[in-house]
Amino acid sequence: MRFFDTRGKPWLVWLGFALVGLALALLPFALAQAGTTWVRIMNYTILYVMLALGLNIVVGFAGLLDLGYIAFYAVGAYAYALLASPQFGLHLPFWLILPIGAAVAALFGVLLGAPTLKLRGDYLAIVTLGFGEIIRIFLNNMSRPVNITNGPQGITRIDPFSFGTFNFARPDTVLGIDVSGPIKYYYLLLLVALAIIVVNLRLQNSRIGRAWEAIREDEIAARAMGIDTRNLKLLAFAMGASFGGVAGGMFSAIQGFISPESFVLVESIMVVSMVVLGGMGNIWGVILGALLLSFVPEILRWTVTPVQEALFGRMMVEPEVIRMLLFGLALVLVMLFRPAGLLPSAVRKRELEEHVA
Amino acid sequence: MLLEVKALEVHYGGIRAVKGIDLEVEQGELVCLIGANGAGKTTTLKAICRLLPSSGKIAYAGSDITRAKVHELPRQGLVMVPEGRGIFPQLTVEENLAMGAYVRGRVDAERQYATFPRLKERRTQVAGTLSGGEQQMLAIARALMTEPKLLLLDEPSMGLAPMMVARIFEVVREIAKRGVTILLVEQNARLALELAHRGYVMESGAIAVSGSAKSLLEDARVKEAYLGEAAS
């Protein structure tokens, strides 16, 4: 992806980085002008970016369609909730739980991956879909005979992130600037998201990334080239899942309350849509997809009613209805005009053109 | 002995496709395995590189590989060019070759480009858009990227124009000259025997005749069944 020709002008790249960095740093304060809610919405958007990037490893890089991805988000969220809430009286620090959550989610990724190694395409999609539901139903029912997850009531009073006396949930004054809780979380989320982006970028052009590409193209040929397809597929599941687990842990802390309701099938479909709409396999495309599908609908929520009242003097269509309408329309339009996604990866684009032709 | 196959048997469900064959390839040899459709040639090759489960013993470079995994063999220098080429159709020629260097870790395609100038011209072209002959060349070049000791070629002439077949066989001869040991599976018996040192003729899952390529070219049975000449 090259917007400008920066060859021979490396300073342009750094200038671009600096501008984007500055914009991202100032964004929460700009959003806060419109209300803290918007900062919160932005935080959830970043969580979706993380999820979409995690799923992109499985779907985009390794070509394994996973329709139950939200299960890993749930695993991460519950791992955090159980280790940092009055539920068991455990209050471990977040920097300890997040890696644990990532590891547990990765383990679940392997648990899902191992029995499905020989499946491809539709069959894999069906099994992963079932897996997602199994996790949710388990969480819903693990309140008896031993109460672990509190069932449908969910877990409440989950600890926010804190670092010594620095608590992410409380407003503070840093260097003379008033910083609210959500803004603090924003920076933390941004940092983690950046780390995930860097890992994704490094993976894409690595030996592992190339091996995934080969597996996606032709599994037999990949094996004939000396690629251990079993381990690499499991690795894709585990890595994708661990990112989901980290995002889940952060979701738990920010929200302070979780229940199985947050991890329904629609959420999985949402994340898959982000990856597909943005462009499978292209990191920037996937980020764009996540931003579009999680942030834009929120704008609608706040604009649809006033616009209708101004036009017709009363509200005619509920924002939620319009949202689903536009969501469907957007997906149909993208599939018609940009079947490989908004910002497709070069190889994916070729694959789709091949099938159309 | 680089490759030693003893009493190899392969089953597809209840059907015995390969019925206990013995096969040997010496270091530096070019050996061909010829036979009609369905004789079990490809099955034998797939069993050797562990794509199919089999009974019997397969020894490669002195070690037993009967229990080895498919992906472990290229590292040891045993590489197969699968039937139907098995290139990565959406990747470019360059990317395909880079994938071939997966076990070696370093990508230097220049040597391959020297052998296949046509591939150099098309290095940025998507492999799926190459002609059949070029795809076969790419498949062989990609296998060579692993720096094989023993190369298993499965019907490299399949579906190619006679001109291209001649070119491919020339390349196989060149590679053999470089010291790569080759086991070639072919239906085109004459071309294969003219190229090879030794040959095995397979018939319905068993070795019917074997011997030096020269003697096989003279063999009355082989002449009649595979070379299209009347027995004299």
Q: Which residues of A252-277 are buried (b: 16+ CB within 10 A; e: fewer)?
A: bbbbeebbbebbeeebbebbbbbbbb
Instruction: Provide the shortest C-alpha distance from residue A195 to chain B (in Å).
Output: 26
Residue A52 pLDDT > 60: yes
Helices of type H across B102-209: 110-115, 117-121, 132-144, 162-177, 189-195
Asked whether the beta carbons of residue A351 and residue B90 sit closer than 8 angstroms, the reply is: yes
Write phi, then psi, for A166 (nearest 5 degrees): -80, 110
For residue range A131-169, list pLDDT tens digits in order.
999 999 999 998 888 888 888 898 988 988 887 777 777
Which residues of chain B lie closer than 8 angstroms to A222, CB-CB? 99
Per-domain residue ranges for chain A? 10-356
Tell me what pLDDT residue B6 has.
Answer: 92
For residue range A221-259, list pLDDT tens digits in order.
899 899 999 999 999 999 999 999 999 999 999 999 999
Peptide bond into A145 cis (omega under 30): yes
Beta bridge partners of A149: none
In terms of pLDDT, which residue wins out, A200 or A6?
A200
Instruction: Provide the shortest C-alpha distance from residue B105 to chain A (in Å).
Output: 8
- Closest by CA to B60, choosing from B102, B121, B6, B122, is B6
- Look at domain A10-356 and name its CATH class: mainly alpha
Are B211 and B198 in contact, with CB atoms under 8 Å apart? yes
Distance, CA of A85 to chain centre: 24
Tell me what pLDDT residue A357 has.
Answer: 44
Q: pTM to 2 decimals?
A: 0.86
As a whole number of angstroms, the distance between CA A90 and CA A110 comes to 27
Instruction: Please give the ipTM for the structure prediction.
Output: 0.85
Instruction: Provide the shortest C-alpha distance from residue A214 to chain B (in Å).
Output: 7
3-class state of residue B211 by DSSP: strand
Whole-Å CA distances, A44 to A39, A182, A230, B134: 9, 10, 34, 51
Asked whether the beta carbons of residue B70 and residue A213 sit closer than 8 angstroms, the reply is: no
